[in-house]
Amino acid sequence: MNVPTNPVPVPADYATDQEVRWCPGCGDFAVLAQMKKVLAGLGAKRETTVFISGIGCASRFPYYLDTYGMHGIHGRAPAIATGLKRMRPELDVWVVTGDGDGLSIGVGHLIHALRRNVDIKVLLFNNRIYGLTKGQFSPTSTPGLVTRSTPFGSMLEPLNALTTALAANCSFVARAVDTQAETLGEVLRRAAAHKGSAFVEIYQNCHVFNDCTFDYAKDNKIRHDHVVELEHGKPLIFGIERDMGLRQVGFGLEVVGLGDGITEDDLVRHDESAATPALAQILAAMRHPQMPEAIGVLRAVQRPTQNELMARGDGPGLHPTNDDLAELLRGKDSWVVE
């Protein structure tokens, strides 16, 4: 993360003069406010910070931040960001996408950017609906959801954003909730500091087309019984009374109550830097209402970034020997057809 030498910035320094054109009650407002606070807290330089988006409500993000930005085409933000980071490695590059933009037409670009460990930060706003195009079901919509494109209810199982990122061997994977400012801010700060691909799913409410879909994770009166907030090295405890936990059973986890002979020592301890993503995959796959859902950092490990690998030239096929473009294109396997 680039830091300025000027006086300490404040969130307002990153605001633009553009009218914020989201619907009243949209969760995007909360994420934007928290992003400004995080950038100010990090002292981010506006001239070396870039936000790239695709198409969708979330993709208006670059207009509302006084940094460099680009509004790309549908699903292609990770590809644009990959090219920019490859050629301008000194820039801090963020991608803002949604469950439709990133997990439908853009899923191929997304998973390959993550597997290559491109040093970009991907924020995926998940509201389980297509909002900008007025309420069609998305790849993350729940079964039975009635929308304009599923009048009899969606019949499909949703795509899990976190398990998808983990399957691509993403080196930083996390989940946050739009209105939980403290957790969201901490996750964004850690994503910014991570060297390599960082993927953050943000549960975000669409007040118009899919209102209350995440109330179980947002409502402070009930959410503690339905989410487990992850802390590295700490046991997996949840519940309004902190009296529930997750214990290993076979290759999975089960919910147990503390007491009657069950203590914190019987619970699984979170390890975000484990050698394999097995625990992170189990946590990512947990779904309400059968299990509490994981909030926080699921996985954070270090491995070489794409830029580092390309610079080293020690990977398969990565042995540049000549900077001359014409000679590089001709290579050793060219023919003249007469």
What the block records as the tokens of 285 is 């796959």
Report pTM: 0.91
Residues 178 and 39 in one domain: yes
Same domain flag for 195 and 254: no
CATH number of the domain that residue 106 is part of: 3.40.50.970
Evaluate whether residue 33 is within a structural domain.
yes
Q: Which of 113-122, 248-257, 322-331 comes out lowest in average pLDDT? A: 322-331
Asked if residue 335 belongs to a domain, the reply is no
Task: Give dist(CA 298, CA 9) in Å, integer.
Answer: 30
Cα–Cα nearest to 30, from 40, 45, 20: 20
> Residue 26 pLDDT more than 70?
yes
Do 166 and 252 share a domain, yes or no? no
Cα–Cα distance, 144 to 160 (Å, whole number): 17
Same domain, 257 and 305: no
Q: What is the pLDDT of residue 331?
A: 72
Instruction: State whether 264 and 205 are in the same domain.
Output: no
Q: Which long-range contacts (CB under 8 A, 24 or more apart) does 254-260 make?
A: 255/291, 255/292
Q: Are residues 26 and 140 in the same domain?
A: yes
Say what the pLDDT of residue 6 is.
56
pLDDT tens for 292-308 read 999 999 999 999 999 99
In a domain, 22, yes or no: yes
Tell me, yes or no, whether 5 lies in a domain.
no
248 and 195 inside one domain: no
SS3 34: helix
For the stretch 167-186, pLDDT in tens is: 999 999 999 999 999 999 99
Cα(173)–Cα(159) distance, integer angstroms: 16
Residue 248 lies in a domain: yes
Of all residues in the chain, the percent with pLDDT exceeding 70 is 93
Cα–Cα–Cα angle for 332, 334, 338, nearest 5°?
150
**Is 134 part of a structural domain of the chain?**
yes
Percent of the chain with pLDDT over 90: 88
Q: How many CB atoms lie within 10 A of CB 191?
A: 24
Q: Round to whole Å and give the CA distance between 206 and 225.
A: 23
Q: Please, which pLDDT band fits residue 8 given cuts at 50, 70 and 90?
A: confident
- Asked if 40 and 73 sit in the same domain, the reply is yes
Number of domains in the chain: 2
Question: Which of 245, 269, 293 delimits the end of a domain?
Answer: 269
Is residue 172 a part of any domain in this protein?
Answer: yes
66 lies in the same domain as 205: yes
pLDDT surpassing 80 at residue 316:
no
The rounded distance, in Å, linking the Cα atoms of 244 and 156 is 32
Residues 265 and 185 in one domain: no
- Answer whether residue 35 is part of any domain: yes
Q: Supply the range of the domain harboring residue 241.
A: 237-269
Check residue 113 and give its pLDDT: 97
User: What span, in angstroms and rounded, lies between the C-alpha atoms of 196 and 190?
Assistant: 12
> How far is Cα of residue 94 from the mean position of the Cα atoms in its chain?
10
pLDDT digits (tens, 9 = 90+) for 187-234: 999 999 999 999 999 999 999 999 999 999 999 999 999 999 999 999
Q: Kindly state the tokens that stand for 296.
A: 């926080």
pLDDT at 72 over 50: yes
Are residues 162 and 109 located together in one domain of the fold? yes
Q: How far is CA 15 from CA 5, 20, 32, 37, 63, in A?
A: 20, 10, 10, 11, 9
190 and 119 fall within a common domain: yes
- Mean pLDDT over each residue of the chain, to the nearest integer: 92
Mind listing the pLDDT tens digit for each residue in 84-132?
A: 999 999 999 999 999 999 999 999 999 999 999 999 999 999 999 999 9
